[in-house]
Amino acid sequence: MTQSVYLDRVAGYGDPELPAKAAALLAAAGCPVGPGHTALVKPNLVAPRNPALSCSHPAVVRAVCLALVERGARVVVADSPAFGTGRIVARLAGFEEALAGLPVTIRSLDRPRRLALSGGGHIGLSRVAEQADHIVNLARLKCHDQMGMTLCVKNFFGCVCGFRKSLAHQTLGKDYDRFAAMILDVVAALPPSTSILDGVTAMHKAGPVGGEPFDLGLLGASANPVALDTAIYAALGLSPQRIPLWRAAMARGLPGTDPAELHFPVLSPNDFRFEGFVVKPELAPLAFEAKRFVRGRLKSLMITLRGGR
């Protein structure tokens, strides 16, 4: 079955056509949000460090929120970062200034509910995410030291509340396929979604925080996050053997895992220059060393207590 992936070119985050292109991509991907709907815009707010590159860009967040507000939706921007809270990291990433004047609420993805996992065990999924009418999943195109790449499917992991993400790394971290299956369980438990991929300036060589910028000029959208991710994997010459989430999606027989299934009605990946984009050849361990895990939790607590200042 053909899976449509919509790609367009954006000159930069200051491109005056960015809002119109974001709105057009949402429409092309079939985003059904309308008057009275609660739309959750789920950005990538990984951490306070290097937010201009590690987090969703505020210009793209504003463009997407503006399109949804103009449709008459109630818009909530929320995430659960690895460090700190959604509100703190959103402020540090420039969201408050970018969204000034729009009737948009910024909050954290909290209020966990136990979600049973297909591989056994549970994880705490945010009720805030579950109760939205529709999720606009706003991912940033980045390398990821532990998972190879973080694109649309991986971005849904932020719907797991707070420290439970770190615990998942510890409890599931010995098995990349089991960890990837957990993320697919999270996606399957959430409301319908439309994914937007910010590849205007991507992150390569390392990630999800400490990599380097790579100007790609790409903005993408699809109703199927797996298909949009597959388009990028294939454009980068990657294989399922290198990308646990791609491999896990193929094991489940999810639509969009085969590049031959993809249809590009606007631009195709061949219209963008991926040459020179570097992905690490080996994956880092998923589980953190005990000292790093404890330091990370203390760091997150201090960021929260200090309000990000």
What's the rounded Cα separation, in Å, for the pair 192 and 93?
27
Residue 302 has pLDDT above 70, yes or no: no
- State the pLDDT confidence band at 275, using cuts at 50, 70 and 90: very high
- State the pLDDT confidence band at 163, using cuts at 50, 70 and 90: confident
Residue 239 has pLDDT above 60, yes or no: yes
pLDDT at 19: 98
pTM of the entire predicted model:
0.92
Q: What's the longest Cα–Cα distance across the chain? A: 50
Closest CA to 33 of 227, 193, 155: 193
pLDDT tens for each residue of 125-150: 999 999 999 999 999 999 999 999 99
- Give the C-alpha distances (Å, rounded to integers) separating 256 from 207, 230, 248: 25, 7, 12
- State the pLDDT confidence band at 83, using cuts at 50, 70 and 90: confident
300 or 51, higher pLDDT = 51
pLDDT at 295: 57
Closest CA to 207 of 57, 94, 54, 102: 54
CATH of 3-307, one of 3.40.720, 2.50.20, 1.10.20, 3.40.50: 3.40.50
Domain chopping of the chain, boundaries:
3-307
Report the percentage of the chain scoring pLDDT > 70: 93
